[in-house]
């Protein structure tokens, strides 16, 4: 049963049948079957087929029909360029102009300036101007992901006239579940849901039934903050305003889903010590170029660890068995630090670690570290004692593990909070970075205690 469900989820269309219709030149049959599919399935077929089949698709579909497919594509940085180069410039420009403005901007942002300028010149002045207005907003801000296709109605209009406006503008609007209300100066005045508009008396003034307590975002707000607001309020769309409270556009939930996915991918990349994991590099040299910076930094940090071990050469020569437990202590402290790091970064990302909660978070992690340290220390003591029949060595390893876990857990929680306080992305405190730092502290603790009690150990 599960296998059948998985297969149905993965294949929602007959790729071979659609391809055969193209090879047969049956335009009408292909259009009827292909356009009846969900846009996601259309995009999957379009992306999978060979370039020669896509050339036929460009002949069979209008730019407007292809625009809906392009909006459903999920491509890497070079994907859009590859597909646009297959089309004639005029066809590509018409297709982009038929997309919702925010999606068109996303596509154009992947191109170089000369390509953008060329496509804009091939569009109508009105379409080109709308796109230019969004292109100048800084990337990763509310302005860069908003769309200007929304429905706005005057606050002094009646429900009857508002419905007329809605019917006229709905075909071009990205969403009509929320209808935003503006005053004579285009200032955002309120919002009304489609449901409330439908059930209201036709002669009622919009001003009397609208909700004037509107949650909005500024055009320069970070897209991650916008995503958090929409998550907190369960919005399908949120209005974007400027400093004068003039409405500029809206951000819809589908764009926020993309933002959440993008931010999660970015944070995961940084936690893994990789600069960029948005794309899967087939070229090993490009992959190595992205991964090398952190590895080189960690290599130099690792040299500090090596120097620390060198400082305690005398101790290790006197009791060579001490060296056997260095990986154990370093690995345990690194793991506990990474756990605390994940909790802290997660708390910052979800907004749960606000100012009042930061001290509580640090106290909780310190107590958690003490509990884990004591438990792991006792277990290590028992294992070493029954293995080597030396209580003092077991006690040394147990105390070192306990102290290392406490320090590592506290560091894993504190470092991201400090970096966040300094307006630095806390995900930069990546797992490998925290692990390397904890290796240094754990070796210092372990061999430092061993040196202090070397006479007893001998």
Q: What is the pLDDT of residue 439?
A: 82
Q: CATH class for domain 11-137?
A: mainly alpha
Q: What is the pLDDT of residue 1?
A: 37
Q: What DSSP string runs through 1-38?
A: -HHHHHHHHH--S-HHHHHHHHHHT-HHHHHHHHTTS-
Q: Which CATH architecture has domain 284-457?
A: Orthogonal Bundle (1.10)
Residues sharing a CB contact under 8 Å with residue 17, sequence separation 6 or more, in sequence order: 33
In the sheet that 188-193 helps form, which strands lie side by side, from edge to edge?
152-154, 178-182, 188-193
Hey, where are the domains in the chain? 11-137, 152-256, 284-457
What is this structure's pTM? 0.63
Structure tokens at 212: 């004037």
Pairing of strands 217-218, 237-241: parallel
All residue ranges of the chain with pLDDT < 50 are 1-11, 278
- H-type alpha helices, 279-354: 284-311, 313-318, 326-350
User: If one looks up domain 152-256 in CATH, what number appears?
Assistant: 3.10.580.10
């Amino acid at each position: 049963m599960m296998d059948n469900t998985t297969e149905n989820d993965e294949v929602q269309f007959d790729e071979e049948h659609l391809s055969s219709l193209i090879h047969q030149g049956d335009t009408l049959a292909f259009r009827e079957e292909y356009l009846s599919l969900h846009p996601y399935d259309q995009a999957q077929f379009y992306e999978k087929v060979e370039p020669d089949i896509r050339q036929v698709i460009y002949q069979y579909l209008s730019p407007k029909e292809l625009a809906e497919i392009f909006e459903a594509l999920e491509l890497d940085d070079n994907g859009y360029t590859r597909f646009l180069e297959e089309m004639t410039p005029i066809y590509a420009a018409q297709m982009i102009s038929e997309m919702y403005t925010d999606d068109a901007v996303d596509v154009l942002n992947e191109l170089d300036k000369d390509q953008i300028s060329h496509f804009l010149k091939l569009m109508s002045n009105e379409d080109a101007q709308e796109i230019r207005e969004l292109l100048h907003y800084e990337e990763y801000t509310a302005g860069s992901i908003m769309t200007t296709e929304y429905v706005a109605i005057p606050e002094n209009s009646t429900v009857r006239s508002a419905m007329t406006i809605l019917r006229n503008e709905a075909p071009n609007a990205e969403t009509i579940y929320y209808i935003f209300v503006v005053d004579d100066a285009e200032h955002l005045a309120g919002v009304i849901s489609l449901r409330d508009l439908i059930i209201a008396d036709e002669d009622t003034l919009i001003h009397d039934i609208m909700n004037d307590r509107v949650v909005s975002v500024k055009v320069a707000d970070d897209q991650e903050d916008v995503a958090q607001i929409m998550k907190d309020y369960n919005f399908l769309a949120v209005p974007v305003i400027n400093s004068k409270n003039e409405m500029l556009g809206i951000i819809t939930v589908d764009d926020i889903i993309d933002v959440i996915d993008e931010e999660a991918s970015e944070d995961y990349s940084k936690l893994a010590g990789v600069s960029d994991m948005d794309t899967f590099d087939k070229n090993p040299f490009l992959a190595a170029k992205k991964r090398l910076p952190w590895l080189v930094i960690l290599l130099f940090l690792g040299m500090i660890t090596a120097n620390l071990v060198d400082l305690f050469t005398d101790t290790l020569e006197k009791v060579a068995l001490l060296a056997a437990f260095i990986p154990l202590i370093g690995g345990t402290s690194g793991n506990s630090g990474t756990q605390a790091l994940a909790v802290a970064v997660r708390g910052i990302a979800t907004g749960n670690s606000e100012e009042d909660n930061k001290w509580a978070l640090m106290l909780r992690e310190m107590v958690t570290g003490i509990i884990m340290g004591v438990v792991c220390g006792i277990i290590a003591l028992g294992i070493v004692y029954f293995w080597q029949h030396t209580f003092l060595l077991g006690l040394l390893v147990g105390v070192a593990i306990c102290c290392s876990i406490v320090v590592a857990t506290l560091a894993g929680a504190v470092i991201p909070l400090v970096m966040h306080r300094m307006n630095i992305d806390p995900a930069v405190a990546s797992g490998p970075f925290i692990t390397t730092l904890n290796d240094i502290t754990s070796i210092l603790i372990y061999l430092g205690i061993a040196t202090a009690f070397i006479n007893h150990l001998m």
